[in-house]
Structure 1
Amino acid sequence: QPEAARQCNELIRLFAEECAVRAAGAAKARLAAAEAKQKQQKKKNKEDEFDEAEPSDPKVVEVRLSDLDSGWILFNLMSSSTPDRHLLVLVLDLNPAWWGLQTDTDVCRMLQSVLTFANAHLLVQPGNEVALLGVCGEQTQFLYPAAQSPPGGVPLSQQGPAQSDGAKLECFTAMNDCVKDAADSLMRSVQPEKLRLSVCMAGCLVKALCYIARREREIQPGVRLASRVLLLRGCRDEASQYMALMNAVFAAQKRQIPIDACVISSDSTLLRQAAELSGGFYLRLPRPSALLQCLLSLFLAEPAVRQASLTLPPSLGPSDSRPACFCHRKLVSIAHVCSICLSVYCSYTPLCTTCHATFPKPQLPAYFNAARAPGKGGGGGGGGGGGGGGKSKRNSKA
């Protein structure tokens, strides 16, 4: 009896101790869970306070990297999504033979409007650059920057913050004087007997693309440069420039360089194709006196901003995409195309001048001519069949 009672009391004590240990562990676990929940709530409150303390401008966001660094890192989303600099290359038609025929405008007014537009482009962003090329007949020349000036001119961001407004205006005045003097020199250098109502726009466009490629190589690493070309043309189209112009347009399309075209005279089929293929904008001025207004309202903004924020004029309908023949350099709708190199000819030729492939004489024109002759329809058909049989015989021999 006493021994059994002692053993029972010992078991009760052990059971009580085990229950106490388990109760203490459960209490400790509940306390740890409560502390974790409290920490999570505090962390959530801090995140809410951080969200409320963010700047109102959604383009600038501050991110705190507490695990890596105790400092603050500022990410400017505007600079990460848009280029740091914008290069605008203006190609100007300075043909005195065409400008001399105009009664409501002249080349001096055109230059003044273009210079105002170029100055506005430089003032939009401190890092913007501008270049002007003049084309007169078969000659092309850089009007700005000059040979002694740095490429792209001197951007406003490199002129120093302590420079006064008067000094900045002097820079614009120097650029305007340089462009006017270079344009006057270019127009005087052309011989009068060589002037025509057309200009070598393809050669000037190629020179503009080469200048853009050079500026992209010379730019500092990490700086993004967005380039575009604006063609200002007054003369008529020259069909002989079709191949050279299209090659330059395809090169600009591959490098994602938009080509804008502003035509003062009649519509330009070639420049309209160039603008559509490269992602630019084509505009024919309603009147020459509205040049400055159209430049500032339509061509000052970048292509992305232009498509998103501006109401552009309505489309002029489908563009004329007719090619130019390789033989006479004229636009054609129906032509003979070489099956080897895809060269286009306005009339039949037995030999392709590009790949030197030989073509058999076509039989369809003879068939149609014989069918049109009165009273000889059957004979014409037989002649056509005979011709076809001769052709198949030659093919079998070959």
Structure 2
Amino acid sequence: MAPSDEDDDSCLLVVILETHENLWSALAEESESPDVGNLSLTTLLQQLLVFFNTFLALNEANELVLIAACGDQSEVLYSSPSLHRESQGPKQAAKTGNASEEVLKNLHALLQEQAARPDGDSARPAVLAGALSRALCLIHKAQLSDGGSSRTRKQPRLLCLKGSPDATEQYISVMNAIFAAQRCEVVIDACMIGASDSVFLQQAAHLTNGIYLRPKHKGALLQYLLTLFCGDAFSRSFLQLPRPIGVDFRAACFCHRRAIDLGYVCSVCLSIFCENVTECSTCGTAFSKNVARTPASKRKDPFAAFVLIDDEWTSKSGLSGFQVIV
């Protein structure tokens, strides 16, 4: 019996690779420890190229896009020939050939350009939100180009290879990209190759039913990639996937961009603040200064109390002011 459209396991995989100079320096220092394993830039690229070629060989209809997140910009290093020419970055070669050759050539040019920048520009953290937004735009464009129903479209997936710590000032834009991916049913996987965890990617994997992993033995990164991130979404139902012990649901305030455990939420636009303010900086709603002195049974509090219950924000009456309890 011929397989139907519903049985098609072809996938569109967009990989976001962080190419920050500080990341390569940190990996070079960690590679000297025998417990961590060798994960230099050369070793990382070798293992990634094997993973890319294996993914493309699993299904002739699979499509791959590699995006480099470097400083304040993102560049498309490789795009499958079957995708539209418009989805390729300005540094994409005019003639698409071998995947390994394209990746190495474009990455070499990108690193040279990055090294030529001033020290202030190279020290900036990689803009994860920009890379996520660009990846979602490429996925959306590829789905529109299919021209068919949702059953004939390739399964979209995002894989983030990140090493540097989160930048709290990017919280709003990153969460907007995560919610957009959740609405579009795009699975976000994360593989942290740095020394610290990522709160952003933990929440992204949790909200989109993806996989979050920080390998213990970074020298065996290829084994993790082939075992967990190479198969399609249907195959994952037969695998014993790692589950995170806990997900950090802390939010970052909109005023100082720092992670908080307890804060204030605007009842109009749900902006989060770490201090009691008189006016919402996002929507401009004015709050009364005498709200706390009014009895709770009589006042109409412009602030709302929200409690995180079963991963959903739920309003709760009878609280003084407005709180975020995580």
TM superposition score normalised by structure 1:
0.64
Counterpart of 2:203, as a letter, is Q
Cα offset, 1:177, TM superposition: 1.5
Deviations 1:25-71 (A, max 9, x none): xxxxxxxxxxxxxxxxxxxxxxxxxxxxxxxxxxx2xxxxxxxxxxx
Q: Name which of 12, 21, 28 aligns with 1:96.
A: 21
Contact 2:10–2:154 (8 Å) recurs in 1:
yes
Q: 1: distance between equivalents of 2:173 and 2:143?
A: 23
Q: Please name the residue that 1:212 is paired with.
A: 139
Contact 1:94 1:107 in 2 (8 A): no
125-134 or 99-108, which moves further after superposition? 99-108
Tell me which of 176, 182, 186 is aligned to 1:247: 176
Tell me if structure 1 keeps the 8 A contact 2:178–2:204: yes
Is 2:10 aligned against 1:109? no
Q: Judge conservation of contact 2:143–2:154 (CA < 8 Å) in 1.
A: yes
Q: Distance in 1 between matches of 2:227 and 2:198?
A: 21
Aligned to 1:297: 227
Q: What is the DSSP-based 3-state SS (H/G/I as helix, E as strand, rest coil) of the residue aligned with 1:90?
A: strand
- Residue 311 of structure 1 aligns with an amino acid whose one-letter code is Q
Residue in 2 aligned with 1:284?
Answer: 214
Match status 1:176 vs 2:104: no
Paired residue for 2:200, among 249, 256, 270? 270
Deviations 1:150-178 (A, max 9, x none): 5279xxxxxxxxxxxxxxxxx99722121
Higher relative contact order (CA 8 A, sep 6+): 2
> Does the CA contact (< 8 Å) of 1:237 and 1:270 recur in 2?
yes
Q: Secondary structure of 2:107's partner?
A: helix
Q: Which moved more, 1:193-202 or 1:115-124?
A: 193-202
CA shift in 2, pair 1:363/1:224, >3 Å: closer
After superposition, the Cα gap between the structure-2 partners of 1:362 and 1:200, relative to the gap in structure 1 and judged at 3 Å, is farther
Q: How far off is 1:197 after superposition?
A: 6.4
How far 1:221 sits from its partner (Å)? 4.1
Task: Give the CA RMSD over aligned residues.
Answer: 2.6
Whether the 8 Å contact between 1:197 and 1:235 is mirrored in structure 2 is no
Secondary structure, aligned partner of 2:134: helix
Q: Please give the per-residue CA displacement for 1:189-238, whole angstroms capped at 9, x wherever unaligned.
A: 23232123631111101101111111112225474311111011011111
The structure with the largest alpha-carbon Rg is: 1
Give unpaired runs (5+ residues) of structure 2.
Answer: 32-38, 86-94, 302-326
Deviation at 1:316, TM superposition (A): 2.6
Q: How far 1:295 moved relative to its partner?
A: 0.1
Is 1:342–2:276 an aligned residue pair? Answer: no
Alignment match of 1:322 (pick from 244, 250, 254): 250
Cα distance, 1:322 vs. partner?
A: 1.3
* Residue type of the alignment partner of 1:275: A
* Within-5 A mapping of 1:117-128: 117-128=51-62
- 2:258 and 2:143 map into 1 onto residues whose CA distance is 36
* Aligned-partner SS, 2:235: helix
Contact 2:9 2:232 in 1 (8 A): no
Q: Could you give the per-residue CA deviations for residues 45-99 of structure 1, whole angstroms, max 9, x where no partner exists?
A: xxxxxxxxxxxxxxx2xxxxxxxxxxxxxxx2x3333236311111101111221
Please give the alpha-carbon distance, in whole angstroms, between the structure 1 residues aligned to 2:256 and 2:110. Answer: 30
C-alpha change, 1:138 and 1:197, in structure 2 (3 Å) is closer
Greater helix share, structure number: 1
Is 1:132–2:56 an aligned residue pair? no
Whether the aligned pair in 2 keeps the contact of 1:84 and 1:224 (CA below 8 Å) is no
CA contact (8 A) 1:197 1:236 kept: no
Tell me, in whole angstroms, the C-alpha distance in 1 between the residues paired with 2:216 and 2:285.
47
Q: TM-score when scaled to structure 2?
A: 0.77
Q: Secondary structure at the match of 2:164?
A: coil
CA distance in 1, matches of 2:268, 2:147: 45
For residues 353 and 193 of structure 1, the distance between their equivalents in structure 2, rounded to whole angstroms, comes to 29
For 2:133, what is the secondary structure of its paired residue? helix
Cα pair distance change 1:316/1:85, threshold 3 Å: closer
Structure 2 CA distance for aligned equivalents of residues 121 and 152 of structure 1: 20
1:372 aligns with none
Distance 1:113 1:220 in 2: 35
Cα distance in 1 between the residues matched to 2:57 and 2:4: 18
